Chains A and B, each alone.
Chain A
Amino acid sequence: MNNPLEHTWQSVMDQLKTWARINSPWAIHFNSGSCNGCDIEILATLTPRYDMERFGVKLQGSPRHADILICTGPVTRQARERLIRIYEQMPEPKFVVAVGSCALTGGAFQGCYNVMGGIDQVIPVDAYIPGCPPRPEAIIDGLVKLLGSLKADGAPERASEPPLAASVLEPSS
């Protein structure tokens, strides 16, 4: 981008995109082995008492339309591949929110043979919301903080380095 005009144009577009994203992030929810406790609290945040849609957050089905991946539960060996696949299918820039103690560290299921640990063992995580399960207020707080950090510089600071290597993604049938 040598042309200064083009440069300005690009940065204006970027700002516009960030603005749009902050005001209406679309989220997708994936349960990679949770006990459902966190899932029902995420659903509860969408319902009238908490109403996450106030912040423009909309839960929808396809990873290809999503900006935010909300993960619950520890990663089980079965769900790992799917989790990676869903993450890969999301368009850039993408953000991952881990909800619940399980998603942070494996929580109560630490040491179970089919559990690999927290979400950040498999994909990079941008925001961690602790609790078993976190209250809907906490989930909203976490999401709003994530959006706030976007506002500041366009990208949240990654707490963990992406462990994704090309070899991780085994082609699945």
Chain B
Amino acid sequence: MPRGHAALGVVVPLLALAVWQGVTLAGMVPPSMLPPPAEMVRTLAEMAGSGELAQAVGITAWRLAWGFVVGAAAGTVLGALCGASALARALLDPTVQALRSVPSLAWVPLFILWLGIFESSKTTLIAVGVFFPVYLNLMSGIAQVDRKLLEVGVVHGYSRLRRLIAIQLPAALPAYVVGLRSGLGLGWMFVSAAELLGASNGLGFVLDDGEQTGRPERVLVAILLFGLCGKTTDMALAAAGARLVRWQDNAMPVQGQRALQPA
């Protein structure tokens, strides 16, 4: 993307902000529905000052991190196994695919029954969300590696295990990074769902609480923070992933790879 175009991305948000300010100033919407932007900034500053903001973000990020690590680890192990072995794939993949077609939120009552309403049910829900994209992308990345590259391993006397390590895994890395990134996206979605459905702290609780107590500025602040956190972690993961797959010969770098280039 040409440098000049990067600035274009902020045009629409700035316009929206101006419209928002105008609408609230003109009194077209009651402040109990949509507070003016300044009110939001004040709320944000207040929450930051009292330490509530740091606590909410910290708790939510902590839950997400746990769920992400557990889900990504499970997805990595099973994905690698099913990608590398046709037998494992035939044995396990149909079951995984069947489970995938269950809408993930439908698990919530079961997790709560089994694991209680506290942390483990939340972590499990997030992990389920993260698991599927990681599993699917890694499995197909490994299974679909170019036969021509595998033959290079064959003619050099590589065993199956060595071919997996030296050829299939590196070749699957780009797909794996894609899987981790969409897993992280789903992780944010599920952490907000888990906290909305029953939590006494965290960003999702701020959302729920703002609704219950009729304070839209708190809801908006929580939404903004979810967006910021999601974008930041995705950019960090994309930048880390881009370092790993710099060898790729792509016409268009994946979004976020730009972050790697010197300004």
User: Does chain A bind chain B?
Assistant: no
